[in-house]
Amino acid sequence: MLLWVGLGNPEPQMARQRHNIGFMALDVIAQTHRFTPWRPRFKGLVAEGTIGGEKIIGLKPLTYMNDSGASVQAAAAFYKLAPETITAFHDELDLVPGKVRVKRGGGAAGHNGLRSMDRHLGTPDYWRVRLGIGHPGDKARVHGHVLGDFAKVDRDWLIALLDAVADAAPLLAGGKPEDFMTRIALLTQETK
């Protein structure tokens, strides 16, 4: 059993923000792979499904980004899941828009959702699917960029990216992060 966590903020007016790309990715994965409907649980919304023969618990914490770890820890404790079975899908400033990197462990790099997960889980030793949103170029503009909505010009690459993440999800579920990244790169190269 794997726990896939989309990081984001729960308010409807925040739904299109760059910071919510983790929620967006999990929504498309759940829809594509016909997960159960989302229901309230663990201070978040949960949907269940099977991808590549693996049972996946999808979780969208409703605790706001800064306390995402409370929801993740509650779900992990209930299912008795080790950190290496948890994957966080989140926005990444240090990757160009549409680029994806997967890694296990590491620092939070200023990401409050990851920082909260590290604190609540007691370890940074979980998987991260880093979804590139690009950097605004000036540190003073980061806050507004992250909490800003995706622009119309972003629509094509964003939809292609989210569809590719869902398409390649069986590779991630099967423990093949390199193949997952390669498949996404192939599927999205036309929209870059």
Residue spans of alpha helices (H) in 15-95: 21-32, 68-79
What is the reported pTM?
0.96
Bridge-partner residues for 40, per DSSP? 45
Q: What is the pLDDT of residues 30-66, one digit of tens each?
A: 999 999 999 999 999 999 999 999 999 999 999 999 9
* Cα(41)–Cα(105) distance, integer angstroms: 26
Is 144 strand, coil or helix?
A: helix
Angle between helices 177-188 and 155-173 (to 10 degrees): 150
Say how many C-beta atoms besides its own lie within 10 A of residue 190's C-beta.
9
Q: Which of 19, 111, 120, 145 is catalytic?
A: 19
Residue 80: CB partners within 8 Å, gap ≥ 6?
Answer: none
Residue 33 falls in the annotated catalytic set: no
Q: How do beta strands 86-92 and 2-6 pair? A: parallel
pLDDT at 192: 53
- Domains located in the chain, CATH noted: 2-191 (3.40.50.1470)
Q: What is the pLDDT of residues 62-114, one digit of tens each?
A: 999 999 999 999 999 999 999 999 999 999 999 999 999 999 999 988 899 99
Residue spans of alpha helices (H) in the chain: 21-32, 68-79, 112-121, 142-146, 155-173, 177-188
* Cα(128)–Cα(192) distance, integer angstroms: 23
